[in-house]
Structure 1
Amino acid sequence: MLLQQDRWPEPSELVLCTVTKVLPHSVFVSLDEFGKSGLIHISEISPGRIRNIRDYVKEGKVVVCKVLDVREDRGHIDLSLRRVSDNQRRKKVNELKQEQKAEKIVEFVCGQLKKEFLPTYKEIMAGLKTHGERLYPFFQDIILDKAKVADLGLDKTITKALDDIVRQRIKPPEVSIEGTFKIITYASDGVLLIRSTFEQVLKDTEAEVYYEGGGRYHLRVNAQHYKDAEKSLKELTDTITEQASAYGTAVFERAA
C-alpha cells in the first residue's frame, strides 16, 4: 500500500510510475504517488536512437521518472526515464519502501486502538507538514530525539501507542560513504574474477556494489556512525585493491 499525496509533483522531482500505454513515439504512465497521469516522449526514454520503444518499456512496467514540466491547468506532466541514474532509482525505491513501512506502523497502531486508519493517517500527515512530507524520516527523528509524536497534535492515547511502536520498529538512520572502483584486467575470465573478489570481500558486511559500465563498480558502505563507515571503507578498498592486483589493476575514487 502506498497512499497518494494530495498535490502535484514538482519539476525535477523523482516519481514512481506504472506504464499504462505504449505508442510508437510516446509512453503514458500513471504516477503512483499522486494519482495522476503523465507522458514520456520517445526522446526521454533512453539515450541514442530507439528503433523499437517496446524494447525499453511495456504496459505494467514500474519505472522511476524525473519530472520535466507540470501544467496543472492542462493536467499535463512531462517525464523523463533516461535522466534518472541507477543510483537515483535505487534511492527512490528505497525511500518508498521506507514510507510504506511507516504507513504500516500507523495501520498497526490503528488496529490496536480500533481506530479507522485513513482518517488517523490524514490527521498525522496534517500535523507533519511543519516537519516535511515524508513520515519515515519523522519517525527516525523520534528515535534520535529530534522530534516528538506529541508534535503531531494527536490525542494522548494514539500519541503514546505510536511512540512505543516507532521506537520498537524504526532503526536510526545510517551513514553512507560511496565511491567508484575502476578495474582493468586482461584475463580471459576477468569478469568472473572481479565478481568473485567483490563477493568474498563484501560477504557479511553492510556494503553494496553495482556495475556502472566501462569497468567501473560503484561501492557504498553503510554504518551507524561516520567513523565506523570510514574505517570499513578503508579496509574494504585496501583488500579489494590487493586482491585485484593478482589479475589486473584497481583504482578507487571516493565520491565528493
Structure 2
Amino acid sequence: MPPKRCRFYKNKFPELEDVVMVEVKSIAEMGAYVELLEYDGVEGMILLSELSRRRIRSINKLVRVGKTEAVVVLRVDEGRGYIDLSKRRVSPDEVAKCENRYSEAKIVNSILRTVADATGYDLEELYEKTAWKLEEGDKPGSSYQAFKKAIVETPELFDTFGLPENVKEKLVEKVKHRLMPNTVKIRAEVDAQCYAYEGIEAVKSALKAGLEESTDDFKIQINLIAPPTYKIETVALDRKLGIDALNTCIERIRSELEARDGELQVRSEPQAVSDEDEKKLKERMDEAGQEEEEEEEDDEE
C-alpha cells in the first residue's frame, strides 16, 4: 500500500528564514511544540520568547493546541530533527503569502494522495514525477499553478511525467475535478446604425463580420435587444482575455460600419456579468418585445 502521508515539497526540511505553516500540538513552560504541516509532521518548537513582541503574561492567550500558525524558521538541525521557530518575527504580508501557498500545496497533496490510493501507486514516487519535477528551479508550491495551467493551455504536460497510463488518466481526472477554472460570461452592448442606402443590410454585414472574430477559445454571439441595440457575448475562462476578444469584435464591427457610412456606439463596455445582470437584461428584452407587439397592434387599428 502507498504511504498515506508525504511532505509537500522535495526538501525534507525547510531552510532558514522560510515561513512555514504549523499546528500547535502541546504547550510547555519553554514554549509551544508544533508539527510542520508541509513537511510531513516534522516537529518544531516556538520558544516562549519568540511568541510575541510584547511582554507575555499568559502563553495560552497567544497560542492554543490545535491552532495553525505561520512561523519563520530560525534554526534547523536535520541530524536531530530539531527546528526552532518564531511567530513574532513574521509580518502580516508573510503570513498571507504562507497561508496562500499552504492552501494551494494542500490541494495538490490531496489530489496526489487520492490518485495514489486509487491506483496503488507510491505517493512519494508520484510526487517525484509530478509536483516536485514541476517545482525544479521554482519556488515550493508552484506546481499548483502549473497543474491549473495544464488543464486549459498545456494538457500535453501530463504526458511528460512518465506515469503508467492508468495513473496518468486518474491524475488528469482529479486535477480537472479540483482545479478546473470557472467560466465567466462577458457582455457588451452597442448601438449599430446605418442611414445610408444599404441601411439594415450594412448593419447585418458588419455584425456578421464581428462574428468572424470568434475563435476556438472565444465563441462570440450577437443578439438584438431592441433596435438599434445589440448585445455581444462570449464565455471565457480568463476574464481579461474574454474582454479583449469582445473589444476586437467591436472594433471589427465599427470598421465595417464606418466603411458603409454607418456608425457604432458602445452603450456598455465589455465586462463580466452576474446572475442579477442576466435577470435585468431579460426584463429589458421582455419589455422591448411587449412594446413592439403593442406598436404592431396600433398599426393594424
TM-score, normalisation: structure 1: 0.57
Q: Which has the higher helix share?
A: 2
CA positional deviation for 1:65: 1.0
Q: Which residue of 1 is the match for residue 37 of structure 2?
A: 32
The verdict on how the C-alpha distance between 1:65 and 1:146 changes in structure 2, with shifts beyond 3 A counting, is: farther
Q: Pick from 139, 162, 183: which aligns with 1:153?
A: 162
Q: Which residue of 2 is the match for residue 170 of structure 1?
A: 179
User: 1:181-232: per-residue Cα shift (whole Å, max 9, x none)?
Assistant: xxxxxxxxxxxxxxxxxxxxxxxxxxxxxxxxxxxxxxxxxx854998xxxx
The verdict on how the C-alpha distance between 1:74 and 1:109 changes in structure 2, with shifts beyond 3 A counting, is: closer
SS at match of 2:16: coil
The verdict on how the C-alpha distance between 1:110 and 1:31 changes in structure 2, with shifts beyond 3 A counting, is: closer
Q: Pick from 107, 121, 124: which aligns with 1:122?
A: 124
**Matches of residues 175-194 of structure 1 in structure 2 within 5 Å?**
none
Q: Does 1:55 align with 2:61?
A: yes
Cα contact 1:141–1:147 (8 A) shared by 2: no
What is the CA–CA distance in structure 1 between the aligned matches of 2:47 and 2:116, rounded to whole Å? Answer: 43
What is the CA–CA distance in structure 2 between the aligned matches of 1:109 and 1:130, rounded to whole Å? Answer: 17
Cα contact 2:6–2:124 (8 A) shared by 1: no
Q: Which residue of 2 is the match for residue 23 of structure 1?
A: 28
CA positional deviation for 1:108: 4.7
Deviates more, 1:80-89 or 1:8-17: 80-89
What is the CA–CA distance in structure 2 between the aligned matches of 1:11 and 1:104, rounded to whole Å? Answer: 27
CA positional deviation for 1:26: 2.2
Report the residue type matching 1:27 in the other structure.
A
CA positional deviation for 1:33: 2.4
Cα contact 1:124–1:152 (8 A) shared by 2: no
What is the CA–CA distance in structure 2 between the aligned matches of 1:89 and 1:171, rounded to whole Å? Answer: 27
Q: Which residue of 1 is the match for residue 102 of structure 2?
A: 96
Q: Does 1:138 align with 2:166?
A: no
Deviates more, 1:58-67 or 1:137-146: 137-146
CA positional deviation for 1:11: 1.1
CA positional deviation for 1:137: 2.9
Cα contact 2:112–2:127 (8 A) shared by 1: no
Q: Pick from 34, 42, 48: which aligns with 1:42?
A: 48
The verdict on how the C-alpha distance between 1:163 and 1:72 changes in structure 2, with shifts beyond 3 A counting, is: same
Q: Give structure 1 stretches of 5+ with no counterpart.
A: 174-222, 229-256
What is the CA–CA distance in structure 1 between the aligned matches of 2:116 and 2:42, rounded to whole Å? Answer: 28
The verdict on how the C-alpha distance between 1:163 and 1:38 changes in structure 2, with shifts beyond 3 A counting, is: same
Q: Which residue of 2 is the match for residue 9 of structure 1?
A: 14
CA positional deviation for 1:124: 2.0
CA positional deviation for 1:48: 2.2
Q: Which residue of 2 is the match for residue 76 of structure 1?
A: 82
* Rg larger in structure: 2
The verdict on how the C-alpha distance between 1:161 and 1:71 changes in structure 2, with shifts beyond 3 A counting, is: closer
Cα contact 2:74–2:86 (8 A) shared by 1: yes
Cα contact 1:2–1:33 (8 A) shared by 2: no
Q: Give structure 2 stretches of 5+ with no counterpart.
A: 183-237, 244-301
TM-score, normalisation: structure 2: 0.49
Report the residue type matching 1:9 in the other structure.
P
User: 1:20-79: per-residue Cα shift (whole Å, max 9, x none)?
Assistant: 232334222122222221121222111122222222012232211111111223322110
